[in-house]
Amino acid sequence: MLDKYNLHYYYKIVKKEGEYTYSKPQIQYPLVHLKYMITPVKKKRKINLMSTPSLKLADLRFDNSFVTQLPADPIKENYCRQVSGACYSLTNSTPCSKPALLIHSDEVGKLLELSPSVFRTEEFAQIFSGNETLPGMQPHATCYGGHQFGNWAGQLGDGRAITLGETVTSQKNRYSLQLKGSGMTPYSRTADGRAVLRSSVREFLCSEAMHHLGVPTTRALSLVLTGDEVMRDMFYDGNAMYEPGAVVCRVAPSFTRFGHFQLLAAQEEHALLKKFLDYTITTDFPDLELSHPKKAGLTAEDYGLWFKEVCDRTATMISEWMRVGFVHGVMNTDNMSILGLTIDYGPYGWLENYDPNWTPNTTDAGGKRYRYGQQSQVALWNLVQLANALYPLINDLKPLEDGLASYQKTYERQWHSALAGKLGLKSFVSSTDVSLTDDLFQLLSEVETDMTIFFRKLSEFNSTSDWLTTSALHCPLGSAFYVESQIDDSYNQKLSSWLTRYKTRLESDGLAPLVRKEIMNKANPKYVIRNYLAQLAIDDAAAGNFSTIQKLLDVLKNPYNEQPEQEEYAARRPEWARHRAGCSMLSCSS
């Protein structure tokens, strides 16, 4: 039960930093060992883009309910400080010298109902660099706290993010427009609130790539060069240097994080915690089935239902990360969205050679807290911290226990469904498929195996060919292996044995090979935003060639499709990129 997470007692000593520390499960690949099942997350409302208006920037309608319904920091000056009794601080971006639009997303523009012509205007670059605002915008930075690498960090907040406002479309869809890298806020601490080109390119590309992979994510509208240089120490080694500055406009229905609730609970501002939670449920979860929909005011039961919904959405998001081989790198509680969206693309990465213990974050290199194979457990730990924050409003462990149990059930159900798709099975049968998948992942980890390529090539498996008798290097799987010398007779025998079991399992399903291949190619992307590809685009952009970013974006819009003319983007990581800066591990400054 929930007592093993120290929920009730942890809340009582929340200010005693480090009292409860993170305990890592003693399993290498925990995902298929959970024993639960659940219902899927509700589908989002569809938008008929064909009938939507085509707006000029001045036509955008701003609602700004976050600002109008929640209390503001009374201090207007923009300097770093501790904030209490407020959910946000009004603040403006720091002007930049020469904003210029580098790239934008037509699709996100359509979500906002913007005319394509607006991206060609000087006005767009001025607004989405932070130099100007539109009528109705109310720029602000929000206040939140969080656990960073398992330790309570106190107040954090939007240190380099400024929300311009919340726009509501003709379809009644709400979107927050947030600039990342547009200058200092009261929550910047010792930083300047700026962002550099390399991190901005990575955020823009990955936001859109994840969307097209089918992973819940915030989106990116635009990437604007500021014309200014920003000092950064990429490796925290004392060798700081100037880099080009840039601003990303990211878009989401809400940017509310677990840490928003954590900070209010830690400060024992329970009345404001309730106000914030009531606002969140009413505004961001309009389809949530409440316990007493006709009764004025939300109840503790409603809060429990909301928490379960957050748990289920989080489980779905994590299972999708695992399916495509994505590693977030900084799963602090302040980087967890209550909507179950991937947020804050910093030192992320894709598994290239499959290693469940790999983390892309240099800061995490020692403890590997946020390694690939641990992401589902970290998400659960983070949800426990959110439950801690909600406890004063619910005053009952059971709804919180139910939510956490639902997370584990949802995660297993979604992950098993993903595994079935990756292997081309009708459904996941635990009695046979747990050991089948466990043994496959063990095989992938024994030699350097490109996860993306391996699963994509596995769709070509044909039991009537020589797959079972030839060397792994001489069948289609051969292109997935990085080091040929690792593929010895012992490995060939083990792989052949597994493929024989796989053949038997496929025969029990009876799917036609082409049907199976179609299922697998919808679950296993051919194109992902490998770190070295992003770095090549960054290198070209720094040299003034921005076409590589657009070309990479175009490829990533169709990650599951064969694109014969773009095969270079599906190749495994080249040897020169194994240890090059930006191509393997990255720092939080990246």
Beta strands in 286-382 (DSSP E): 326-327, 349-350
Buried b (16+ CB within 10 A) or exposed e, 338-371: bbbbbbbbbbbbbbbbbbbebbbbbbbeeebbbb
Tallying the residues shown for the chain, one arrives at 590
Please choose, from the candidates 478, 443, 456, 571, the residue with its C-alpha nearest in 3D space to the C-alpha of residue 523: 456
334 included as an active-site residue? yes
Residue that has been written with the tokens 């044995």 in this structure: 497
Report d(CA 307, CA 223) in Å as an integer: 34
Tokens read off for 479: 């292109």
**Is 391 strand, coil or helix?**
helix
Report d(CA 453, CA 479) in Å as an integer: 7
Tokens read off for 162: 């400024």
Report d(CA 25, CA 30) in Å as an integer: 8
Report d(CA 538, CA 552) in Å as an integer: 11
Beta strands in 82-240 (DSSP E): 88-90, 100-104, 140-142, 145-148, 151-155, 161-168, 174-180, 219-232
Residue that has been written with the tokens 């992003």 in this structure: 534
Query: Phi then psi for 114, rounded to 5 degrees?
Result: -85, 145
Residue that has been written with the tokens 């009582």 in this structure: 12
Please choose, from the candidates 276, 202, 286, the residue with its C-alpha nearest in 3D space to the C-alpha of residue 246: 202
Taking the CB of residue 276, how many other CB atoms lie within 10 A of it? 21
Please choose, from the candidates 295, 380, 543, the residue with its C-alpha nearest in 3D space to the C-alpha of residue 36: 380
Please choose, from the candidates 258, 251, 253, 256, the residue with its C-alpha nearest in 3D space to the C-alpha of residue 180: 251
Instruction: Exactly one of 158, 302, 334, 355 is catalytic; name it.
Output: 334
Please choose, from the candidates 83, 80, 103, the residue with its C-alpha nearest in 3D space to the C-alpha of residue 193: 80
Distances (CA, A) of 280 to 65, 491, 569: 10, 53, 41
CA pseudo-torsion sign 440, 444, 449, 450:
positive
Question: How many CA atoms within 13 Å lie on the side-chain side of 275?
Answer: 14
Report d(CA 90, CA 69) in Å as an integer: 14
Taking the CB of residue 315, how many other CB atoms lie within 10 A of it? 29
Amino acid 394 reads I
Distances (CA, A) of 169 to 55, 64, 69, 166, 445: 10, 13, 20, 10, 47
Tokens read off for 57: 């920037």
Query: Could you list the active site residues?
Result: 334
